[in-house]
A and B are shown apart, each in its own frame.
With several copies, the nearest count.
Chain A
Amino acid sequence: MDFWESDDLAEHREAARAWVEANVRPEWVDEQRRSGCHQTMELHALLARDGILAAGWPPQYGGGDVDPGFAAAVFDECARLGLHFDGWATTVMVLHTVQHVGTEAQKRQYIPAALRGELLIALGYSEPDSGSDVAAAKTTAVRDGAEWVVNGQKMFTSTAQVCSHVFVLARTAPDAPKHKGLSLFLVPTDAPGFEVQPIHTLGGQVTNATFYTGVRVPDTALIGEADQGWSVMRVALVYERGVSSPTSVERTVADDLAAWAREARRPDGTAVLDDPLVAERIGRIAVEEEVSRLLGRWMNWNAAKGGVPGPEGSMRKLFWSEAGQRHFSEALDILGAEGLLAPEAPGAPAGGMFEHDFRNAVVTTIYGGASEVLRDIIAERHLGLPRSRPSL
């Protein structure tokens, strides 16, 4: 047993920093915040150009020579600057799914193009009337010769405004039981009948509603077998719980709060960190963040061993998101009135990031498996308790 963390990142840190220095423009961070789109296509093109997207993929599907450790370090350095890659994160999930269940032709069609940066895929699971209950999807796909005709609406299709495709969950056997008549399609966003409408959020992100009106896709757009979409989707879900926060990013609330509290002063001139009421909360946050990190490592370790995924992904997502929400709320309390200042306010502590992250944290207990769904899964699959609701 050892808990040594991979040295991959450390080893590649310097080279990654050099790459970032040479290629990344700091204004992209502001642009992501301003536009609410957590995917910068200019940066994406550079990551593709230098083979960073392709690192670690098999050569027959376009994989390249770039060391995956270097690639991870580049993403990590970019994330430290505040850049998001939400569109790429969902693309990777779908590529893994294609790799697992796609035909050879599909693998050769989609994976290399994505690794070249020509293809970016948003997730089209949720609908206006189905959030956590994804399998209640009403969007339909009807076979018409060698094509499928897609009709319906998807919600929270994040980064669809810049994506080339949406991975659409559609009902293909309307009379089959709820979980047995679903299929998944890669729908191009330039197809006639596709529309996208922005949805503004509390965290500043702009997600989308996407509309599908008689959108025609070829049979090759069907990923996995027809009517088997539920099991296909669960392949991707395994990856989603891991992606929801990059475990490589080690910036923590406790660190940031301690850094602020060491400099900030009470009216009597003492450092805020010397107030036990402040230090106690930062200490508690630090402990819970360590637990979050360890649950993430455990998940990665199990995934790397390649066995059947256990409860670790659900547990980690549940703990991380619930604890994180508490931590940002406590951070604002500790900061007092100053904690309320938005990033636009001059002189906001840490540039208003606490306030921003507090707003953003509310969605973390919803996306990628709402906390209630995760608790149900842990209770049923890990603890062997009976099902407590109609269907999963």
Chain B
Amino acid sequence: MNLDFTDDQEALRGAVREFFDKESPPEVVRAAEPLGFDAALWRKVVELGLPAIAVPEDRGGGGAGFVELAIAAEFLGRSLAPVPLIEAAVATTLLTSVPGEATPAADAVAGELLATVALHPVTGDVARLVPAGAVADLVVVLRGEELLAVRGPGGPAGAAGAVPNLGAMPVADRRLDTGEVTVLAKGAQAVAAHRRAVRHWELLTGAALLGIASRALELGIDYVLDRRAFGVPIAGFQTVQHRLADNSTAIEGTRLLAYKAAWAHDAGLPSAGTLATMSLLFASETAFKTASDSLHFHGGYGYTLEYDVQLYFRRAKAWPLVAGDRRVAYARLPHRLFDATEA
């Protein structure tokens, strides 16, 4: 066991953190609302090679792993960066994992094509509420037992009809009948590839929520140290302290679980998929509780759009909920954990 990051990972953490701090301050996040996409920032993220950082070097990627992707996702979450890095990384990994030359994998790796994945299997002609669907060139969709790549209609930047939502996410419905459709895989292989992609999305969204929670806690702490009520700093009230202490504890647990899930993926463990789901679940609870409390401690100011904490509060609730009701995922866990029916 070694819970320290490697020197390379520490260097990446520093670099990614600095990048997002500089390039995605709150003004950039606010300016990108309600769509939740900043094209200029996205170009910079692509130039850094982040979306393909976990793609093997011989496929043109960075040759790193999901621990490195999770690091990028954590700091994306911390700064609420309005770029679909998680979706692009998941889709790029999926495209490069599917055999055959017909795939647009190379374009995705090169950053010339923005791809995403519909999280839920589709029955009709519409993939509903696809994350990054409003800005993606290509959507990977599981329909029946076919894994499809759907291009168009329309390019990035909301042409596909962004749906206004709580989390300022570029989600959109994508039609399968008016786009250009390629079959990537069929049968059990298709289903398994899609499931893997969903697990990757869970893993990275869990890491992003870790970043959201960490920053929301800091905003809360900064505010209560600064503001006074009844003659003392708000930070001096025991009920405030104890909620912050609980949230801080949960955040450390979230961190351990997020990176354990990423490590398990890179180590090829059979438990990796289940750990990804568990990480997303716990990170969701932690991020929402932390952001809610920090917002509440802001008093009336927490309710104003002026303070940044509301940006975190809305996303803490919204980002994971795109994948659906948590309780359903909890209810599936015992079978996955103890019967090993599905990782």
Report which A residues bind B (CB closer than 8 A). 1-6, 126, 129-133, 136, 155-156, 199-203, 207, 254-255, 258-259, 261-262, 267, 273, 276-284, 286-288, 290-292, 294-295, 297-298, 301, 311-312, 315, 318-319, 325, 329, 332-342, 344-346, 355, 358-359, 362-363, 365-367, 370, 372, 374-376, 378-380, 382-386, 388-392
Contact = CB atoms under 8 A, between A and B. Distances in A.
A131 B304 CA distance: 13
Contact of B257 (A294, A362, A367, A385): A294
Interface-centre pick from B1, B264, B278, B310 (highest chain A CB count, 10 A): B1
Given A1-B259, A386-B233, A277 B327 contact: yes
B3 interface: yes
Interface of B: 1-6, 9, 67, 121, 123, 128-129, 163-167, 169, 171, 221, 224-225, 227-233, 235-239, 241-242, 244-246, 248-250, 252-254, 256-257, 259-260, 263-264, 267, 278, 281-282, 288, 292, 295-296, 299-306, 310, 313-314, 317-318, 321-335, 337-338
B300 A156 contact: yes
Contact of A155 (B252, B281, B300): B300
Nearest to B319: A340
Contacts of B317: 329, 332, 340, 358
30 contacts: A2-B1, A2-B263, A3-B260, A3-B264, A129-B228, A130-B229, A131-B229, A132-B229, A136-B230, A201-B304, A258-B337, A267-B123, A279-B330, A281-B330, A287-B333, A290-B278, A297-B256, A298-B256, A332-B321, A333-B327, A334-B325, A337-B171, A340-B318, A340-B322, A345-B164, A366-B299, A366-B303, A378-B248, A391-B231, A392-B230
Nearest to A204: B305
Contacts of A335: 325
Nearest to A377: B245
Contact of A273 (B321, B323, B334): B334
B144 to A, nearest CB: 12
Contacts of B9: 1
Given A340-B165, A391-B231, A315 B1 contact: no
Contact of A202 (B167, B236, B303): B303
B230 A391 contact: yes
Interface-centre pick from A129, A332, A385 (highest chain B CB count, 10 A): A385
Contacts of A292: 253
Contacts of B257: 290-291, 294
A392 B238 CA distance: 14
Given A288-B282, A294-B257, A379-B241, 18 more contacts: A2-B267, A132-B229, A136-B231, A201-B304, A201-B305, A202-B303, A202-B304, A202-B310, A202-B313, A276-B331, A283-B337, A287-B281, A318-B249, A359-B166, A362-B292, A372-B237, A382-B245, A383-B248
Contacts of B238: 376, 388-389
A283 B9 CA distance: 32
Contacts of A389: 230, 232, 237-238
Contacts of B236: 385-386, 388
A287 B300 contact: no
A136 B231 CA distance: 8
Contacts of B292: 325, 362
Contacts of A294: 253, 256-257, 260
Nearest to B246: A375
A389 B123 CA distance: 59
B3 A301 contact: yes
A180 to B, nearest CB: 15
A-B pairs, 9 with minimum CB distance: A283-B333, A283-B330, A379-B241, A291-B253, A294-B256, A378-B245, A375-B245, A280-B331, A131-B299
Nearest to A302: B3
Given A286-B334, A385-B221, A389-B237, A336 B310 contact: no
Contact of B334 (A283, A339, A362, A382): A283
A254 to B, nearest CB: 7
Contacts of A6: 1
A356 to B, nearest CB: 9
A15 B310 CA distance: 43
Contacts of A258: 334, 337-338
Contact of B321 (A312, A336, A383, A392): A336
Contacts of B310: 202
Given A340-B167, A390-B232, A5 B296 contact: no
Contacts of B313: 202, 362
Contacts of B330: 279-281, 283-284, 287
Nearest to B259: A1
B331 A363 contact: no
Contact of A201 (B242, B303, B326): B303
A362 B303 contact: yes
A319 B239 CA distance: 17
Given A362-B296, A385-B235, A389-B230, A342 B304 contact: no
A376 B240 CA distance: 11
Given A254-B337, A386-B236, A379 B245 contact: yes
Given A267-B123, A333-B325, A202 B305 contact: yes
Nearest to A257: B334
Nearest to A360: B303
B321 A342 contact: no
A83 to B, nearest CB: 21
B227 to A, nearest CB: 8
A319 B247 CA distance: 10
A279 B314 CA distance: 26
A155 B225 CA distance: 21
Nearest to B236: A386
Contacts of B169: 340
Contact of B337 (A286, A329, A337): A286
A376 B250 CA distance: 15
B328 A277 contact: yes
A213 to B, nearest CB: 22
Contacts of A337: 128-129, 171, 321-324
A297 B228 contact: no
A343 B278 CA distance: 32
Given A6-B1, A367-B300, A295 B327 contact: no
A290 B236 CA distance: 32
